Structure 1
Amino acid sequence: MTPSLTDLSQALLRAAKSAGADAADVLVVRGTSVGIGVRDGRLEEAERAEGIDLGLRVLMGQRQACVSASDSAPDTMAAMAERAVAMAREAPEDPTIGLADPGQLSDRRDARGLDLADDGEEPDPAALQQAALACEAAARDIPGISQIDQCSAGYSRREMVMAATNGFSGGYTRTGHSLSCVAITGTGTGMERDYFGDMRLHRADLLPPEEIGRTAAERALARAGARQPRTGRFPVLYDERVAASLIGHLLSAINGTAIARGASWLRDGLDTPVLPVGIDLVEDPHRPRISGSRPFDAEGLPTARRALVEGGTLTGWVLDLATGRKLDLPSTANATRSAASPPSPATGNVTLTQGPRSREALMAEMGTGLLVTSLIGATINSTTGDYSRGASGLWVENGQPAFAVNECTIAGNLRDMLRAIVPANDARPHLSRVVPSLLVEGMTLAGA
Structure 2
Amino acid sequence: MTDRLETLTAALLSAARKAGAEAADALAIDGASVGIDIRQGKLEQAERAEAVEIGLRVLIGGRQACVSASDTSDRTIADLAERAVAMAREAPVDPYAGLADPSQIATAWDLDALALCDPAPEPEARALETDARTAEDAAMSSAGIRQVEASAGYSRRRMFLAATNGFAGGYARTSRSVSAVAFTGEGTAMERDWAGESRVWQADLPSAAEVGALAAERALARAGARKPATGVYPVLFDERIASSLIGHLLAAVNGASIARGSSWLRDALGQQILPRGLSVIEDPHRPRIGSSRPFDGEGLPTRRRAIVQDGVLTGWTLDLATARKLGMESTSNASRGTSSPPSPSTSNIDLTQGTDSRDDLIAAMGTGLLVTSLIGSTINPTTGDYSRGASGFWVEGGQIAYPVNECTIAGNLRQMLMQIVPANDARAHLATRVPSLLVPGMTLAGA
State the TM-score, normalized to the length of structure 1. Answer: 0.99
Structure 1 residues not aligned, in runs of 5+: none
Report what 1:163 is aligned to: 162
Report what 1:420 is aligned to: 419
The letter of the residue matching 2:54 is L
The yes-or-no answer on 1:278 pairing with 2:277 is yes
The letter of the residue matching 2:86 is A
CA distances 1:188-235 after superposition (whole Å, capped 9, x unpaired): 111000000001101101110010000000110111111110100000
Provide closer, same or farther for how the CA distance between residues 2 and 412 of structure 1 changes in structure 2, counting only shifts above 3 A. closer
Q: After superposition, where does 1:427-438 map in structure 2 within 5 Å?
A: 427-438=426-437
1-side partners of 2:8 and 2:285: how far apart? 27
2-side partners of 1:156 and 1:110: how far apart? 22
Q: Secondary structure at the match of 2:440?
A: strand
Provide closer, same or farther for how the CA distance between residues 2 and 228 of structure 1 changes in structure 2, counting only shifts above 3 A. closer
Report what 1:104 is aligned to: 104
Q: Secondary structure at the match of 1:29?
A: strand
Report what 1:180 is aligned to: 179
Report what 1:381 is aligned to: 380
Report what 2:15 is aligned to: 15
| Kept after mapping to 2: 8 A contact 1:109/1:171 | no
CA distances 1:399-418 after superposition (whole Å, capped 9, x unpaired): 11111111000000000000
| CA RMSD, Structure 1 to Structure 2 (Å) | 1.0
In the TM superposition, residue 3 of structure 1 has moved relative to its aligned partner by 6.3
2-side partners of 1:282 and 1:437: how far apart? 17
Q: Secondary structure at the match of 1:259?
A: helix
CA distances 1:315-341 after superposition (whole Å, capped 9, x unpaired): 000000000001000000000001110
The letter of the residue matching 1:30 is D
2-side partners of 1:411 and 1:187: how far apart? 30
Q: Secondary structure at the match of 2:176?
A: strand
The letter of the residue matching 1:38 is I
The yes-or-no answer on 1:144 pairing with 2:144 is yes
2-side partners of 1:372 and 1:189: how far apart? 21
2-side partners of 1:381 and 1:38: how far apart? 39
- Report how many residues are paired: 447
State the TM-score, normalized to the length of structure 2. Answer: 0.99
Report what 1:316 is aligned to: 315
Report what 1:55 is aligned to: 55
List, as ranges, runs of 4+ consecutive aligned residues in structure 1 with deviation greater than 2 Å. 108-112
1-side partners of 2:40 and 2:390: how far apart? 30
CA distances 1:344-375 after superposition (whole Å, capped 9, x unpaired): 00100010000000000000000000000000
Q: Secondary structure at the match of 1:80?
A: helix
CA distances 1:28-87 after superposition (whole Å, capped 9, x unpaired): 000000000112222110000001010100000100000000011000000100000000
| Kept after mapping to 1: 8 A contact 2:233/2:368 | yes
2-side partners of 1:61 and 1:103: how far apart? 21
Report what 1:121 is aligned to: 121
| Kept after mapping to 1: 8 A contact 2:13/2:25 | yes
CA distances 1:277-296 after superposition (whole Å, capped 9, x unpaired): 01011000000001110000
The letter of the residue matching 2:281 is V
Q: After superposition, where does 1:202-351 map in structure 2 within 5 Å?
A: 202-351=201-350
Structure 2 residues not aligned, in runs of 5+: none
Q: Secondary structure at the match of 2:257?
A: helix
In the TM superposition, residue 109 of structure 1 has moved relative to its aligned partner by 5.2
| Kept after mapping to 2: 8 A contact 1:395/1:405 | yes
- Identity among equivalent positions (%) equals 64
CA distances 1:159-197 after superposition (whole Å, capped 9, x unpaired): 100000000000000001010000001011110000000
| Kept after mapping to 1: 8 A contact 2:53/2:71 | yes
| Kept after mapping to 1: 8 A contact 2:2/2:159 | no
